[in-house]
Amino acid sequence: MRYFIWFSYDGTNYHGWQVQPNGVTVQSELERCLSLLLRETITVTGAGRTDAGVHARQMAAHFDTDAVFEAPLIVKKLNGLLSHDISVDRIETVATDMHARFSAVSRTYHYYIHTHKDPFVRQYSQEIHYILDFELMNEAGRILQEYEDFGAFCKAGSDVKTTICHVTHAQWHQTSPRAWYFEITANRFLRNMVRAVVGTLIEVGRGRMSLDEFRLVIEGKQRTQAGESMPAKALFLEKVEY
């Protein structure tokens, strides 16, 4: 049987999603606890990868097992075993050809910023000290949707077969007089892409890059021409859709 598991996590204390030899990851913790409960070695395949320090409000993964179990009971036991910063919402049976990564049609990320010192949001939002033109940044966000090749925002040295992504939404939203978040939806994302996009949009918002220059960055497909990669702590995988 194939199962989908839906969960969320605070990525602060993890070396990202994917299993690594020299660090604790969300995937390794989920596999450890599932294997313990189901009494067999369980391997989970996630909807995507998040880097060290990145969070997820909604993440999906699939795993296969012949074990017979009551999903609500396993969810309860998993939440008892897992650390406080990983929470399982539900487990459900799916068709055997459903794939957590390849069957997903879109992913949505949020990146949070605030423009004043605030000790209560600093762990999950990036403090910005510049005056930003959010209207101009949203114009740049609309420009993103005109392109498909985002090599300019892909981390150098990434082992990817293609840098083609289909961005369907890219917009800044204001949540208070001094707090904003950037929302971006696409069928797939490149490694470090959202943080690089946000860093480049902030260059536009600061008046250090024009919209025409922003287009040239995208068309140039060179990571060195784009803005800096923003800190991971303010990035959330918000939603995965199938």
Q: Which residues are catalytic?
A: 51
C-beta of residue 205 within 8 angstroms of C-beta of residue 136: yes
- Tell me if residue 242 falls in helix, strand or coil: coil
- Tell me if residue 173 falls in helix, strand or coil: strand
Bridge partners, residue 126, by sequence: 113
Bridge partners, residue 110, by sequence: 183, 236
Q: Is residue 140 within a helix (H) or strand (E), and if so which, with residue range?
A: helix 134-144
Distance CA 87, CA 36 (A): 17
Match 């959202």 to its residue by tokens: 194
Q: CA 26 → CA 5, 49, 122, 212, distances in Å?
A: 13, 10, 22, 40
Q: Is residue 181 within a helix (H) or strand (E), and if so which, with residue range?
A: strand 179-186
